[in-house]
Structure 1
Amino acid sequence: MPIAVDVDLVRFEKNLLQIGFFGANDARDKHKTSRRVEQIVFRNGHKVKVAAEFRGSEQLGLPSTTDRDKFIALLKIVREESARTGQIQNPIRFSGYRMIQELGLSRNGEIYEEIVRWGKRMTDTTITSEQVVYFAAKKVYSDEVLHVFRTFRRTGSSNLTGGEKQEHYEVVLEDWLIENLNQRYVIPEDFNAYKQLTRPTAKGIFGYLHMWFHASQGRAVEKDYAELCNLLNVQAYPHLSKIKSTMGLALNELVNIKYIAKWDIQPMSTKTGYKIVLTPGQELLDLLASTRSDTRQDRRELSAAVAIEAKETPLALDRQEAVDALLRLGVLPARASQLAAAHDAGQILDTIEYLESQMTGATRNRVDNPAGLAIYSIENGLPIPADFVTSRRRRELADKATRGRAQREELVNAESVYEEWAERQRQAAVDGRYPGAKLAAKLDEIVATRGRTDEAFRRVPAKQRRAVAMQIVSKEIRAELTLPSFEEWLVTNTQMGLF
């Protein structure tokens, strides 16, 4: 699928995004000269604690969103140079005027000094990697002290000042960064979309959206609010109203550029605090679809799976099927149409198929008020048990298995193995968080709390409430896990990118 003319694609090095190198703080705040970001990830089936520590000088401070702006502009210049030579090579030379053009800024004397301070800050900042920075060529994680720029210098300046001033610069990138860029260990980003953002937090979240929705295959994602603030290097607030008046404004900017369709802030059931729930927007989905290495059919499936309000959508037939299924359970026509328009048709069909399976068989207890239970499950995005294979999933596997070549069949089998592995990790996380009787106590707590505060939950029949509570626990713990994507798992920590 060709990329639209108005997309200005740059490829952002993945490590610098994942470790939170560019904070969303104000670059003028130099009081904090060090910060540490710790994460829990799964590698080779094991939970591993990794960390990155950043240290800068009192004079220059740590990299921030304004530094990220200039770094993206540099990456665009680098990409154009590499298109002529075949690969990225040191040194990288550019004019100040060229960078100003890329950033869309007004030309004045101060901007040239800002470029110099940016280059010095990028060179000065050290990264202490504790098994977190990935070397794509060597296929290993580093445990050492690193830099991004090896050197930065101003190579020439005119005698003119103000708007007519001309300056030239030279950057030497560190070897690990050159290798990763040439190995395409990168995230594609649309520079034009990025430049529409004004809030530092919105710019900070922008890059992560590409990773999150690529990994979720276009499904909604949930992120721990406090952990996200730590990654962005912004203050976390305990009150919902303050969260909405700070991060909420940044999320609204992302809605405006159609990178997210909607967002919500909800309390977490498994621990104290809030989570951010994000639904992808069509502009981001189109970008992801155009940069995937999968077949065109897979791209259409990804885009169609989350298209919500398009006038001509491939989901029209699926939505009608979802409406019919809801009506079959006793949902009123108007409510059924509303649910089908607001939620993924596949999710609705899978949920209803699971609920209907609970209403059949001589040994099964009949589900009371199936319409109410279906509405609650769909609106809250409750996952169905992993051991329940829906007919839609069976059809997908069958279609993929017959699509053609042996390589594709092997990939389908690998996807099934990956899903089984991922489910074991999720179940292990649940067991680790709530061992023994703690799980039962937590379920009782959720049932009691939701019974008091959640009107929709109170409509769930009493004998089904513990099962719904278990789905709530599973959903929140899954959202906290940082599991490798299928591509990363498939090659055992070998990067397979978005290309």
Structure 2
Amino acid sequence: MEQVVIRNGHKVKVAAEFRASEQLGLPSTTDRDKFIALLKIVSEERTRQGQISNPITFSGYRMIQELGLARNGEIYEEILRWGKRMTDTTITSEQVVYRADKKHYSDEVLHVFRSFRRTGSSKLDGAEKQENYEVVLEDWLLENLRQRYVIPEDFNAYKQLTRPTAKGIFGNLHLWFHASQGKPIEKDYTELCNLLNIQAYPHLSKIKSTMGHSLNELVGIKYLSKWDVQPMSSKAGYKVVMSPGVELLRIIQDSRSEPRESVVVEAHPSLSEGSENAVKLLMKHGIAAGKARELAQRFDADTITDTVEYFECEQSAGKRSRVQNPCGLIIWALEHQAPVPAGFISSRRREEMHQAEERERARQSALISLRVTYENWVEKKCAQALDVQYPGSQLQEKLEELVKSKQNDMYFVRVTAEQRLKMAQQLLIREIKEGLSLPTFDEWSIESRQIDLFQA
């Protein structure tokens, strides 16, 4: 992986190469889960003993608990394979790995684990398994942990993520917002995709429908407060703009070794763009700013918007005289979770219906296009079979034979000689098609999509 970064006002090219044996392979997403769990164990050991030192020991049961997995014989083997893979993986750092003890980025070949071994015992049938593991961290990692250059991540928050892209972004958020002192950051979308080793898309709608789901997961665990994708002004392409969430700011603040460097958390937690719009809508209807923000933190933006629009509709329909305190009624309806009637079509619901109709039209259009592709495919298969069965002049002879056999067909004989040959060829193709055992449209479409996915 290669990138150009800004350090001390200068552009610096950095690169990292990861190598592993064919037998063990490179670490995967599940290996990252175990490594973050290990950092959590290390962090708790530091709290209990006041320092971190080699070797790091933990029980298999402890690791299983942290991962939230079921206890079985296979999981112990997975932990062992993870340890071997981490020990085996070699990293070539070109200005990527930071050595906290030497205060510089390194150009060297290194590992993460110096050694990993398993100890313990169990019965021959695998019952009553009691296994412990011992990790010896490489000096650079141990020193960085001691100097708190490696930020212990909140594993409980990490476990709530389901998308690999969200997990990949998760670890980088600590570094990015640590460097920005908790201020919003911007990342080149294409470079971010390269960093995460995922496909980059050129269209804004596709970007939001792919990476957007992962960013929404990070908003859900309060590691981001909001995000957006915007065109870049300096060059073609898009950038991802992210604002930190309260949970991430808390983690970064707790990881600071000196109070004077702590990140200043906003007096009011950041809200998503939708919630900010909900605050403005509440204030427009006479609700105080503080109360509006409180409601936006407690209730989702859709609920607030639907409730406000419903009471707007009620008042505009001549029922205003019944409401002495409209803003108070809105607050009461939200706090008591009074449902908006299902028959009321709010602007949000109307937009959702419009989008659903657009999706259905797109689906029908895609289905028609796919069916045309299928019919072309069938026609091509039949043409190929026709060439094989009647090569060269044999086809013309067969067609003339069919024309001759239709001399008593009153409709057949009334067309021109050229049209008779075409009609005869259609009849011949129909016979060949019936004997080919071709897949149905549904069978073909499923197989075709699987091939497309494999090629993608």
TM-score, structure 1 normalization: 0.51
- The Cα offsets for residues 262-292 of structure 1, whole Å up to 9 and x where unpaired, read as 2222222322222111122222233334444
Gaps of 5+ in 1: 1-35, 310-318, 324-332, 343-499
Aligned twin of 1:180: 144
Of residues 171, 182, 185, the one that matches 1:218 is: 182
| Alpha carbons 1:55, 1:62 under 8 Å: kept | yes
Partner-residue secondary structure (3-state), 2:118: strand
Alignment of 1:185-264 (within 5 A): 185-264=149-228
Shift of 1:62: 1.7
Aligned residue type for 2:203:
H
Aligned residue type for 1:42:
R
Are the structure 2 counterparts of residues 267 and 256 from structure 1 closer, same or farther at C-alpha, using a change threshold of 3 Å?
same
Aligned residue type for 1:79:
S
Shift of 1:295: 5.4
In the alignment, does 2:261 pair up with 1:302?
no
Shift of 1:115: 0.7
Shift of 1:163: 7.2
Alignment of 1:98-109 (within 5 A): 98-109=62-73
Are the structure 2 counterparts of residues 61 and 181 from structure 1 closer, same or farther at C-alpha, using a change threshold of 3 Å?
same
Of residues 129, 141, 144, the one that matches 2:93 is: 129
Shift of 1:200: 1.4
Q: Hey, what's the Cα distance between the residues in 2 that align with 1:264 and 1:78?
A: 35
In the alignment, does 2:97 pair up with 1:97?
no
Partner-residue secondary structure (3-state), 1:187: coil
Are the structure 2 counterparts of residues 98 and 114 from structure 1 closer, same or farther at C-alpha, using a change threshold of 3 Å?
same
| Alpha carbons 1:126, 1:146 under 8 Å: kept | yes
Aligned twin of 1:357: none
- Equivalences, count: 284
| Alpha carbons 2:73, 2:126 under 8 Å: kept | yes
| Alpha carbons 1:157, 1:168 under 8 Å: kept | no
Aligned twin of 1:286: 250
Q: Hey, what's the Cα distance between the residues in 1 that align with 2:4 and 2:58?
A: 36
| Alpha carbons 1:157, 1:167 under 8 Å: kept | yes
- The Cα offsets for residues 433-458 of structure 1, whole Å up to 9 and x where unpaired, read as xxxxxxxxxxxxxxxxxxxxxxxxxx
| Alpha carbons 1:39, 1:49 under 8 Å: kept | yes
Shift of 1:189: 2.2
Shift of 1:72: 1.6
| Alpha carbons 2:148, 2:255 under 8 Å: kept | no
In the alignment, does 2:40 pair up with 1:40?
no
Shift of 1:240: 2.9
Partner-residue secondary structure (3-state), 1:186: coil
Shift of 1:254: 0.8
Aligned twin of 1:398: none
- The Cα offsets for residues 206-231 of structure 1, whole Å up to 9 and x where unpaired, read as 12222222333333221111111221
Aligned residue type for 1:206:
F
TM-score, structure 2 normalization: 0.56
Shift of 1:59: 2.5
Are the structure 2 counterparts of residues 113 and 293 from structure 1 closer, same or farther at C-alpha, using a change threshold of 3 Å?
closer
Partner-residue secondary structure (3-state), 1:189: coil
Q: Hey, what's the Cα distance between the residues in 2 that align with 1:46 and 1:220?
A: 21
Aligned residue type for 1:181:
L
- The Cα offsets for residues 31-79 of structure 1, whole Å up to 9 and x where unpaired, read as xxxxx23332324x43221211111222222223211211122122223
Q: Hey, what's the Cα distance between the residues in 1 that align with 2:261 and 2:39?
A: 31
Partner-residue secondary structure (3-state), 2:190: helix
Aligned twin of 1:59: 23
| Alpha carbons 1:224, 1:274 under 8 Å: kept | yes
Alignment of 1:57-456 (within 5 A): 57-159=21-123, 164-292=128-256, 301-304=264-267, 307-308=270-271, 334=284
Shift of 1:117: 1.4
Structure 1 or 2, whichever has the larger Rg, is 2
| Alpha carbons 2:54, 2:135 under 8 Å: kept | yes
Q: Hey, what's the Cα distance between the residues in 1 that align with 2:284 and 2:212?
A: 31
Q: Hey, what's the Cα distance between the residues in 1 that align with 2:150 and 2:196?
A: 19
Aligned residue type for 1:142:
S
Are the structure 2 counterparts of residues 147 and 298 from structure 1 closer, same or farther at C-alpha, using a change threshold of 3 Å?
closer
Shift of 1:95: 1.6
CA RMSD between the two structures: 3.2
Q: Hey, what's the Cα distance between the residues in 1 that align with 2:156 and 2:126?
A: 27
Aligned residue type for 1:134:
Y
Shift of 1:175: 1.4
Aligned twin of 1:392: none
- The Cα offsets for residues 79-112 of structure 1, whole Å up to 9 and x where unpaired, read as 3334454422222222211100111111112211
Are the structure 2 counterparts of residues 102 and 131 from structure 1 closer, same or farther at C-alpha, using a change threshold of 3 Å?
same
| Alpha carbons 2:223, 2:244 under 8 Å: kept | yes
Q: Hey, what's the Cα distance between the residues in 2 that align with 1:143 and 1:297?
A: 29
Are the structure 2 counterparts of residues 186 and 46 from structure 1 closer, same or farther at C-alpha, using a change threshold of 3 Å?
same
| Alpha carbons 1:202, 1:253 under 8 Å: kept | yes
Q: Hey, what's the Cα distance between the residues in 2 that align with 1:153 and 1:55?
A: 21
Partner-residue secondary structure (3-state), 1:41: strand
Shift of 1:239: 3.0
Gaps of 5+ in 2: 273-278, 294-456
Are the structure 2 counterparts of residues 283 and 46 from structure 1 closer, same or farther at C-alpha, using a change threshold of 3 Å?
closer
Aligned residue type for 2:180:
S
- The Cα offsets for residues 445-485 of structure 1, whole Å up to 9 and x where unpaired, read as xxxxxxxxxxxxxxxxxxxxxxxxxxxxxxxxxxxxxxxxx
Partner-residue secondary structure (3-state), 2:265: helix
Partner-residue secondary structure (3-state), 2:65: helix
Are the structure 2 counterparts of residues 113 and 99 from structure 1 closer, same or farther at C-alpha, using a change threshold of 3 Å?
same
Q: Hey, what's the Cα distance between the residues in 2 that align with 1:294 and 1:122?
A: 32
| Alpha carbons 1:51, 1:129 under 8 Å: kept | yes
Aligned residue type for 2:95:
Q
Partner-residue secondary structure (3-state), 1:58: coil
| Alpha carbons 2:118, 2:132 under 8 Å: kept | yes
Aligned residue type for 2:56:
I
Q: Percent identity?
A: 73
Q: Hey, what's the Cα distance between the residues in 2 that align with 1:167 and 1:272?
A: 54
